[in-house]
Amino acid sequence: MDNNKPIGIFDSGIGGTSIWKEIHHLLPNEKTIYLADSKNAPYGQKSKEEIIALSMKNTDLLLEMNCKLIVVACNTATTNAIWELRAKYDVPFIGIEPAIKPAANQSLTQTIGILATQGTLNSELFNKTIEKYQNTKIIEQVGHGLVQLIENGKINSTEMTELLRSYLTPMIEANIDYLVLGCSHYPYLIPQIKKMLPKHIQIIDSGEAVARQTQTLLKEKIGFTTAQNSESVFYTNTDPSVLQSILGNGYSIERKDF
C-alpha cells in the first residue's frame, strides 16, 4: 500500500536533518529515507541550473527507493528548483522556505533579519515572497562560509563565532526583533546565535511548519503508515562521521555514491 512507503528527504548535506528531526518527532511511525548530498555542498553558491540538476538527481534516487512523498529539506533547492520538480514528477513535494511571514507579521520594530544562502536570497521565489511585506524592513545577510563549517564539523569553532558575530552585529544595530534562519543547516547554530543576540530578538526557522505540512499532506492525500515501528535510514556521499555526530547513536547511516 502507498501509505506504507517511506518519506524521502534530501538536502545539500547534513543540515536538513534539522527538518528530519521535526518530522520524526511529529510522525514517529513514518519510515524516512534521508539523502545528504554533502559531496555537492554548498548548493548556495551554485547556478539555478546546477541546483535544479542536483535536486532532480536526488529525487530520482528517492523515487528508486519507492518514496511516497519528497521533502526538499533545503531552502536553496526549494527556492531555485521546486517549480521545476513539481513540473517534472508526479510525486508530491514539500519545500522549505524562509519563515518571512510569521516574522514580518509579528515584528514590532517592523525590522527583521534573514540569514540565508546566496542562492536563496537571489531566487525569484524568495524575492516574490518579500514583495508582499513592503512595510517591513528586511535586512538580508548571506551566511558565507557557515554551511562549509557545519559540514566540516566546526559548529563550535572560533571561525564560526567570528563569522556569526560579523553577520549578526549589523542586524542588531538595525533594531531587528526577529531573526529568520533561512537555511536548514542554521538551526544547529542556535545555541551560539542566542548568546550573541539581545534577549528580545526571536529566532525563527521553518522546521516545525514543514513537519506540520507533511502531516497535513499525509492526512489529506496520501495516508499515514499503518506500521508501528518506524525506520530512519540516512545516506551520505561523503565521510559519515559528522552526520553521525549530529544524529547521535542508534541510526542507520550508509555511505553511497550518488
Active site residues: 74, 183
Nearest approach in angstroms of CB 29 to ligand DGL is: 26
| Number of helices followed by number of strands (H, E) in the chain | 11, 10
Planar angle of CA 141, 145, 149, nearest 5 degrees: 130
CB of 200 to ligand DGL, least distance (A): 26
Residue 41 or 138 with smaller CB distance to ligand DGL: 41
**What is residue 168's three-state secondary structure?**
helix
CB of 179 to ligand DGL, least distance (A): 15
Interface residues toward ligand DGL, by CB under 6 A: 11-12, 15-16, 41-44, 74-76, 117, 120, 147, 183-185
Residues 6+ apart with CB under 8 A from 6: 30, 31, 32, 33, 65, 66, 67, 68, 231, 233
Angle at which helix 124-131 crosses helix 75-88, to 10 degrees, equals 110
- In this complex, which beta carbon is closest to ligand DGL, that of residue 71 or of residue 225? 71
Taking the CA atoms of 8, 216, 184 and 86 in sequence, report the sign of the dihedral they define: positive
3-state secondary structure of 162: helix
Q: Would you say 209 and 187 are in contact if contact means Cβ atoms under 8 Å apart?
A: no
CB of 75 to ligand DGL, least distance (A): 4
Selection from 62, 30, 51, 55 nearest residue 215 by Cα: 30
Nearer to ligand DGL, 5 or 126 (CB): 126
The helix or strand, by DSSP H or E, that contains position 9, with its residue range, turns out to be: strand 7-11
Give me the least distance between CB of 12 and ligand DGL, in Å please: 3
Q: Specify the residue, 59 or 75, whose C-beta has the smaller distance to ligand DGL.
A: 75
In this chain, which residue has its C-beta nearest to ligand DGL?
44
- Quick check: helix, strand or coil at residue 36? strand
**Closer of 184 and 225 to ligand DGL (Cβ):** 184
